[in-house]
A = this chain, B = another copy of it.
């Protein structure tokens, strides 16, 4: 993953997170799988997800999650590291992430 483009990694501020952008981001099985993995492990490089899609599709999924405010991305050498913005999400949309992670674990990992 960690594409070496020069575009900066933009993250919305907590107060600018939009519930409907968050829900739209979560209404895709691949992205939900990413969130579920990050719910279980605090930091995972893009290459560590073993996603069932190609590299450019995978990049797009990470971008959608980042732009919705669900994940934080940072580059470390040649790797792009992802983490869930758990505390900010919990403050901004209390209960949502817990509901999502519980539901994913109850219905099985979607990926």
Contact = CB atoms under 8 A, between A and B. Distances in A.
Contact of A99 (B21, B24, B93): B93
A29 B20 contact: yes
A1 interface: no
Number of copies: 2
Interface in A82-111: 93-96, 99-100, 103, 107, 110
Given A94-B95, A95-B95, A100-B19, A27 B24 contact: yes
Interface string A17-42: 01111011011010010000000000
Interface of A: 18-21, 23-24, 26-27, 29, 32, 93-96, 99-100, 103, 107, 110
